[in-house]
Amino acid sequence: MARVPVFDNHVHLRPDGHHVEAAKAYEKAGGTHFMLVHSPHDDFVGDTPDWERAYDRTVATAEAVRKETGVQCWVALGPYPVHLVRMAETLGVERGVQQLIKGAETAARYVEEGKAVAIGEVGRPHFEVSDEVWDASNVALEEILGIARGAGCPAILHTESADPEVMADLGAIADRAKMPRDRVIKHYAPPLVKPEECHGLFPSIIASRKHIRKAAADAPGGRWFLETDYIDDLSRPDVVMPVDTVPRRVSGFLQSGDLGEEMLWKSGVEWVERLYGVHPEL
């Protein structure tokens, strides 16, 4: 029997977490490919991030996954927006923004070298911050989206929780950066999949039962990704979904008929190819 494509668009793995073992659990549950998003837990050396050292760790993790499992994975690299909160205090907002931009430029170079396929997660803090940090985050985001456009790759956004208004605002920032909206993936989205809800952005949906059902019903064409945002932090085991959530939900919903196989091919293969320019092999 041909395999069903099972794609998680947002997985973090840490060398001090379950690391490759988590990818093995994902594979065992039926997962076929995933996007490895840079884990920002160890970016700083002193007051400033060392982007190359940090990104090399994620690139090495992806290589280990490819070597030790049958799961395909690709890499997204970027300056985590919450870092600006810390840097605003230690370096000042302006230098903090410069560091984020440097992080995006370094990520773009890794994309050009074929080590990564997307810039992310980038965006703005998901919690209340000072006006100064908020405004600076938006300035940085516009610049970073321009860098992603220049690198010819999509961007994965981390922001406050989304509603249609937030999606419209993020879309306007993309427009100012001349980054096509459909190259901007909103990570951790509720199922805002209808055109009037997602405003052209590409939604990556938290894989809860409720959300998957709604995404499948509202956008049967599969213009969405599923994700866990697995963080692989051993000290916070219950913060997000287990790493095998997407494969378990997909197989359950295939059996119940909530998801069709064709929908999974669209979401997990066609859109993966179109957005990231990679080719899942099944």
35 or 147: CB nearest Zn ion: 35
Using CB under 5 A, which of the segments 53-61, 146-154, 224-232, 272-280 binds Zn ion? 224-232
Q: How far is the CB of 60 from Zn ion (least distance, A)?
A: 19
Please tell me the count of residues contacting Zn ion according to CB under 5 A.
1
Residue showing the smallest CB distance to Zn ion in the complex:
229
Using CB under 5 A, which of the segments 95-103, 134-142, 177-185, 221-229 binds Zn ion? 221-229
Using CB under 5 A, which of the segments 77-85, 100-108, 190-198, 223-231 binds Zn ion? 223-231
215 or 240: CB nearest Zn ion: 240
Q: Which of residues 229-248 bind Zn ion (CB under 5 A)?
A: 229
229 or 232: CB nearest Zn ion: 229
CA 90 to mean position of chain CA atoms? 27
Using CB under 5 A, which of the segments 44-52, 90-98, 99-107, 228-236 binds Zn ion? 228-236
If you count them, how many residues does the chain have? 282
Q: Where are the beta strands (DSSP E) in the chain?
A: 7-11, 33-37, 44-45, 48-49, 72-77, 118-123, 155-158, 184-189, 202-206, 225-227
> Which long-range CB contacts under 8 A does 65-68 form with residues at least 24 apart?
65/13, 65/20, 65/23, 65/36, 68/20, 68/23, 68/24
Q: How far is the CB of 256 from Zn ion (least distance, A)?
A: 29
Question: Do the beta carbons of residue 86 and residue 47 sit within 8 Å?
Answer: no
8 or 229: CB nearest Zn ion: 229
99 or 159: CB nearest Zn ion: 159
> What DSSP assignment string belongs to 88-155?
HHHT-HHHHHHHHHHHHHHHHHHHHTTS-SEEEEEE--SS---HHHHHHHHHHHHHHHHHHHHHT--E
Residue located via tokens 């490919």: 33
Using CB under 5 A, which of the segments 62-70, 110-118, 171-179, 227-235 binds Zn ion? 227-235
82 or 215: CB nearest Zn ion: 82
Q: How far is the CB of 156 from Zn ion (least distance, A)?
A: 8
Question: Do the beta carbons of residue 61 and residue 11 sit within 8 Å?
Answer: no
Binding site for Zn ion (CB under 5 A): 229
